[in-house]
Amino acid sequence: MHTHTHLTRLIILVLFIFAHSSLCSAQRSAVGQNIITSNSIQDIQEYEKDASRLALRYLSQQHHELGIKIPEDIKESIYNALLAVYKSDNKYAMRVRDLGIHTQSQPFYIDYLTVVHADNTAWAVPLDKGQPRTSDETINGFIEIYNLDINKYDDENKSFIVSAYPHVNMNGLAKELSQIEGVKSVVVPPLRTPDHNIIAKRERSTWILIYEKKYLNTNKKTQWSFSVDADGNITFLEEVEINDF
């Protein structure tokens, strides 16, 4: 069901971008239009990740205890707001879209983990045989509850990769996995900090989205702020330059 919803979103957005390009971009070549359509698929996947990270950040700021699962209602609400800005023909919205501004991977990490287990760990035998499950009830329970995917088993290093879709709070999952007997370590891969980020604040039923982009080799950044109401109506609020010392 989640996969069906994901594919439906992709199809809707691609159709929108194709129609928008046909109406508003007659000057562009056919090659250019194909690039836009291709990029839009990647964009929607990135915005789903953004919504997951921003939902975790919002809950943390509201002093909620973060579990492994990300509440669907908060995530969906933020996702719809991000998509509204993405689809807007407001010149500032188009600017942040063209700059490819997305959230940073940390501190609310959702991507994948590398799990390293001890030698001769019995529950890892099925993984070594190419199966997507272990013989440990706790790990298998996590697989079922959070729709985890286990792959890239490495017999030499006694490790495997854990990812999830829909996205989950990987920091929370790492804590749980690290307590399982036989697990030596749970590793978050090295991450590059990009020069851009998105911040989300909530005012009743309206989201305030702040897109920021840092200038290379400087302490300056530009922020573009938008409000998005529950019906998806966006309002550009301001563009400001900040000295980020």
Place of tokens 């109406």: 23
**Is the Cβ–Cβ distance between 59 and 68 less than 8 Å?**
no
The fold adopted by the segment(s) 112-187 is Alpha-Beta Plaits (3.30.70)
Q: Where are the domains of the chain?
A: 2-107+193-243, 112-187
3-state secondary structure of 184: strand
> Residue 222 forms beta bridges with which residues?
213, 241
CA pair distance 222, 242, nearest whole angstrom: 6
- Closest residue by Cα to residue 118 from 136, 103, 96: 136
User: What tens digit of pLDDT does each residue of 107-143 get?
Assistant: 999 999 999 999 999 999 999 999 999 999 999 999 9
The structure tokens listed for 206 are 């309206």
- E strands, 139-195, are 148-154, 159-164, 183-187
Among the residue ranges 7-11, 20-24, 27-31, 241-245, the one predicted with the least confidence is 27-31
User: What tens digit of pLDDT does each residue of 60-103 get?
Assistant: 999 999 999 999 999 999 999 999 999 999 999 999 999 999 99
Task: Give the pLDDT confidence score for residue 216 in this predicted structure.
Answer: 81
Task: Give the pLDDT confidence score for residue 193 in this predicted structure.
Answer: 86
pTM: 0.81
**Sequence-distant (≥ 6) Cβ neighbours of residue 149 within 8 angstroms:** 132, 162, 163, 164, 165
- Closest residue by Cα to residue 184 from 117, 121, 138, 112: 117
User: What tens digit of pLDDT does each residue of 181-235 get?
Assistant: 999 999 998 888 889 999 999 999 999 999 999 988 788 999 999 999 999 999 9
Q: What is the DSSP letter of 106?
A: S
